[in-house]
Amino acid sequence: MKSKEAQIQSACINWFRLQYPKLKNLLFAVPNGGSRNVIEAKNLKRQGVLPGVSDLIFLVSSSKYPYLCIEMKHGKGRQSENQKRWQEEIEKAGGKYIICNSLDQFIYEINSYLKN
């Protein structure tokens, strides 16, 4: 069974693709999580996988930001130290980073981002 966080993220992607079909390929998931064996983990690290990268990346600029990174959390979920460092790097580079806990919050954040 999927985690609650994964369910929320799936709902967010489904909503986005229906609401913004012309932008659907510019919002994508980064498959950083999950369990992997040691060999696969080493291969992915050599290929550029970084710990802490946000769950979703939106490669559309707004009037204020060149791109948006979205970390999905459920309930009282908290960022890991790697996620906090990633957020700092994104913000220093001029990007916007948000944490979403629900589909409603995601809808609000995406619509706000695209209006600016």
**How does pLDDT run across 33-77, given as a tens digit for each residue?**
666 678 777 777 787 778 899 999 999 999 999 999 999 999 888
Domains of the chain: 4-115 (3.40.1350.10)
**What is the model's pLDDT at position 2?**
62
Question: What pLDDT, in 10s, does the model give residues 90-107?
Answer: 999 999 999 999 999 999
Phi and psi at 69, nearest 5°, equal -115, 135
CA separation for the pair 28, 52 (Å, rounded): 16
pTM across the whole model: 0.88
Please name the amino acid found at residue 31: P
